[in-house]
Structure 1
């Protein structure tokens, strides 16, 4: 993984050179700027991980520059202000605008290094907390002791040592993001960010903006590709990406650089890309829905995740893991599966794989009363799931073109989930993992009125 990139902005050459030399000795990568104009250009050329910003400069003061950067998307990284003539009011204003800290000149290099280290660590924790709130499965590593899981973990650890792109495939709910995070955590890039992009949850017309960012004048919006700099970019459901964005991503992987929307100068790529899909991507390529060059760029290190029914011996351990998770993380009452209930679930087909198991555990903990989860309770829970699934899938004629069949499935799926959420769009968005604006757009595209009760459809 590359070292943290620090931008030092100061109009005094001696201070710039000294700070640059000391930071580089500590293993950081450092760029410098002597005034506001060159600082803007340096920030446009490459997203910094931290900025050391002097207050008094000839063309613009640091507070005004900080305010300019804080507008719109907010500060892209921690900013530490430096000044030899600072006041309490100046420090308060800098903090209000989002600066991490304020240090006085003459600089104490020991204090500077400690502040830099703490600022980078605080930013890393902030990003990790956002990621944990967003992801539904905060699993440190894949759960299971079967030969299947042990071989997959060993494969993931071998893959982690290399920089080449990874393509993870498997049925929905098999844990593709879990393995992507495990690869990242086992790699030399583990100290860098892990940025996950649910391609299907981004409106197709906004996908290039979200991924590559934009610039207009001095205003720069960093896309997910730059946010993942030095770390890993995880693209979930690759086949849902808009064709124009596919072309731009293929070009970025080929050339090692890309243009932001509205940009004129190339930005270097420094990420490890892991993509995932539950679809047969070769079929998507042959059907013209996925670019062949993008597929081959990403399919360097393929990894297939088997469905849970192929390693059902891991079900008891998964049940125990998710019971403990919901008790510890969500404060749900502890309940224990009886041996008969465990054995029934071990022999259940799990069409929804690990995601279905997790949701089943959560439902049983919430709705049950006794400490033990009985066989009868489990039978009732899985019999409630199976008829709905069979009914919804059975409504789709198998002679339809794939795109039409997928649209019918999406409509049936969202209608069923909408019913289970009692017509509450906010709960539906959380349940299906989509941003609410994109969900409204998807519902309307499928002819579902978000304002009408789902039973009326």
Structure 2
């Protein structure tokens, strides 16, 4: 890691602590910014864009826990935050890490431990960014799986649409793969070398929508929004029906003029963006009910395509099962398992209310929690909840039992959340209620586990 370009923000009301920590970090080659209270920390976070924040809990204006909550709520891509306290307790440390802090340091500080945790936090953050880039590369090589007439027809239509600039509205049930088809369109278009920016519209709080979509200018610093980041590429608006009315109006104006003002800005920003939107609800009915602007509906609906549910091309189920087994073996290092013919036949006739997403999550769950190379019919039925009897007891244990605790927990949490996500019909609000997790923290958890909304 090149520490010379890494900026760390130190927030502490004790001058001696700030000075000591600042000198130590500077000696290690980091750039250091320092704040003595929460107000100064807020401003420096905006202007300095730090790679890591060392945050004291006890400060004269706003305590560090409250400030951490504030940053977590407003910034889905918050850099690692390490809390510091001279009055630490186990309860405080647990609360801080539950809210999203990377780690917790007790005062008096051990300088060796400080540097160790800073190094680990930055390394973890860099790996997450690299993995996000690798995932973007990976998506470029993936195309919708299926040899059925229904999928062949959709792929042919998308390839032809890709050569034109018409805005496309992809309709279909939850989990049919609308984002994947949007990426397929982008990858076959003249914009393929530009960015593909996807956003789950319903996950953006109305009060944050303007900044998320149009960016922000403050104290000479520019934070680009989604439209700017998608310049010369494609912006995919997932489940557009969840957008609030005010943002609908601003987006309509931006798309009509190909320009907009950043929040706090005074000069128009011009962008060249192709927009693809998706919906699982009939938007024409939302228009009639007054919940969606008619002008925006017509603007986004230049060409409409309906993605077929999996039950209408069930002949693709065996191919999808095989694809996702190979996918999880290759990309998540899960042990190989194969579906028996009886299991495949059963799944071809299954209703798949969650469509391809449900199938993908089922494969992952069986590969994480199952035992042995063969996936038999009874195990599939049990995983789907179609039988009441339990899986026979085995002397073996699931493979994730042999992983380090953090990796095992991540695999279990991902399978658990994806299971309940599909059963809640893809609703984050319902998922939040089912799993008992506040929605802001749930969004961060879904993002960290790479669970697509």
TM-score for both structures, normalised by structure 1: 0.59
Preserved CA contact (<8 Å) 1:327 1:334: yes
Aligned ranges for residues 233-252 of structure 1 at < 5 Å? 233-252=235-254
For the pair 1:199 / 2:201, whether they are aligned, the reply is yes
Preserved CA contact (<8 Å) 1:259 1:267: yes
3-state DSSP of counterpart to 1:183: helix
For the pair 1:294 / 2:318, whether they are aligned, the reply is no
Q: Give the alignment partner of residue 164 of structure 1, picking from 160, 163, 166.
A: 166
What corresponds to 2:311 in structure 1?
309
Do the aligned partners of residues 140 and 163 (structure 1) sit closer, same or farther apart at CA in structure 2, a change above 3 Å counting? same
Residues 100-128 of structure 1: CA distance to partner in whole angstroms, max 9, x if unpaired? xxxxxxxxxxxxxxxxxxxxxxxxxx989
Do the aligned partners of residues 275 and 200 (structure 1) sit closer, same or farther apart at CA in structure 2, a change above 3 Å counting? same
Residues 62-103 of structure 1: CA distance to partner in whole angstroms, max 9, x if unpaired? xxxxxx99944579xxxxxxxxxxxxxxxxxxxxxxxxxxxx
What corresponds to 1:325 in structure 2?
327
Do the aligned partners of residues 266 and 411 (structure 1) sit closer, same or farther apart at CA in structure 2, a change above 3 Å counting? closer
Aligned ranges for residues 13-24 of structure 1 at < 5 Å? none
Do the aligned partners of residues 273 and 434 (structure 1) sit closer, same or farther apart at CA in structure 2, a change above 3 Å counting? farther
Residues 395-449 of structure 1: CA distance to partner in whole angstroms, max 9, x if unpaired? x9xxxxxxxxx99x76554333x17xxx69899546755999xx9xxxxxxxxxx
What corresponds to 1:378 in structure 2?
380
Residues 51-72 of structure 1: CA distance to partner in whole angstroms, max 9, x if unpaired? xxxxxxxxxxxxxxxxx99944
What corresponds to 1:414 in structure 2?
432
CA shift for structure 1 position 256:
1.8
For the pair 1:363 / 2:365, whether they are aligned, the reply is yes
What corresponds to 2:349 in structure 1?
347
Preserved CA contact (<8 Å) 1:308 1:350: yes
Distance 1:136 1:430 in 2: 22
CA shift for structure 1 position 218:
2.1
Unaligned regions of 5+ residues in structure 2, if any?
1-43, 52-127, 389-419
Residues 153-201 of structure 1: CA distance to partner in whole angstroms, max 9, x if unpaired? 0011111101121111110100010001000000000000011111111
3-state DSSP of counterpart to 1:288: coil
Q: Give the alignment partner of residue 221 of structure 1, picking from 220, 223, 230.
A: 223
Distance 1:308 1:321 in 2: 15
Do the aligned partners of residues 230 and 284 (structure 1) sit closer, same or farther apart at CA in structure 2, a change above 3 Å counting? same
How many correspondences in the alignment? 298
Distance 1:431 1:261 in 2: 28
What corresponds to 1:262 in structure 2?
264
What corresponds to 2:274 in structure 1?
272
Residues 345-386 of structure 1: CA distance to partner in whole angstroms, max 9, x if unpaired? 000000000000000001111111121100111111122699
TM-score for both structures, normalised by structure 2: 0.60
Preserved CA contact (<8 Å) 2:428 2:439: no
For the pair 1:149 / 2:167, whether they are aligned, the reply is no
Distance 1:413 1:135 in 2: 30
What corresponds to 2:178 in structure 1?
176
3-state DSSP of counterpart to 2:385: helix
Preserved CA contact (<8 Å) 1:205 1:242: no
Distance 2:130 2:183 in 1: 12
Which protein shows a greater Rg? 1
Distance 1:136 1:385 in 2: 37
RMSD: 3.5
